[in-house]
Amino acid sequence: MQKAEGGIFAADYETAEKYLRRIIELFPTSQYVPDANFGLAYVRMKKGDCAEAAVLFENFYQRYSSHKKSPDALYYSILCYIKFVDTADRDIEYVKKVRELSSIFLQRYPDHEKAEEVSKIREKVLNILAEHHLLVAEFYLRRKLYEPAIRRLEIIVEKDKELLGTSVGKKAQKLYEEIKKDKTSSSQY
């Protein structure tokens, strides 16, 4: 384990990864396996493979939730997944994943030194998610498909109150109220 840690601190990630994998393979019941799994995820992250690192950190957290490095694993998983969060007009699976993991982090570790940073990340993904639903609603409105637009806006306004609390949520609420008002005053929809 010392050689692996030495490789990590010296930024010799290839050597560190080699030793960490050997620990896991040769001593699967060893007390060092959790640290080796964490180290392996950390090395993958440092090597720029955030896709694999995110999954490894998340798996570490799920498998060793009472381990002293669990909060850090969850935090690093969030940092890795957030790299794949782009804009509201893209696939939102990573947005949902970051939302889920950041909720867990803030619930379980509210006093952690990274809680404020995670809270900001969570706020960012909530805005992106709300914006995604608003963009889809606007798409339907441009095509005069009012019912699907209303259903999309209802996700923000009625079903997911966290999204309503975002800056985008306020805009969605205003649009939702306008459509509902127009719909009740005219039954052409």
pLDDT of residue 138: 96
Write out the chain's pLDDT in tens, 189 residues.
554 454 454 568 888 899 999 999 999 999 999 999 999 999 999 999 999 999 999 999 999 999 999 999 999 999 999 999 988 988 999 999 999 999 999 999 999 999 999 999 999 999 999 999 999 999 999 999 999 999 999 999 999 999 999 999 999 999 999 998 877 665 544
Give the closest residue to 175 by CA, choosing from 131, 125, 122.
Answer: 131
pLDDT of residue 187: 54
Residue found under tokens 């995820």: 41
Residue found under tokens 């205003």: 174
Contacts of 13 (CB under 8 A, 6+ apart): 7, 43, 46, 47
Calpha distance 144→5 (Å, rounded): 60
pLDDT of residue 5: 52
pLDDT of residue 7: 46
Give the closest residue to 165 by CA, choosing from 134, 118, 126.
Answer: 126
3-class secondary-structure state, position 11: coil
DSSP per-residue string spanning 115-173: HHHHHHHHHHHHHHHHHHHHHHHHHHHHTT-HHHHHHHHHIIIII-HHHHTSHHHHHHH
Nearest-10 Cα torsion for 93, 95, 101, 103 = -130
Calpha distance 1→71 (Å, rounded): 21
pLDDT of residue 99: 98
Would the CA dihedral through 132, 72, 61, 21 be positive or negative? positive
Q: Whole-prediction pTM value?
A: 0.86
pLDDT of residue 136: 96
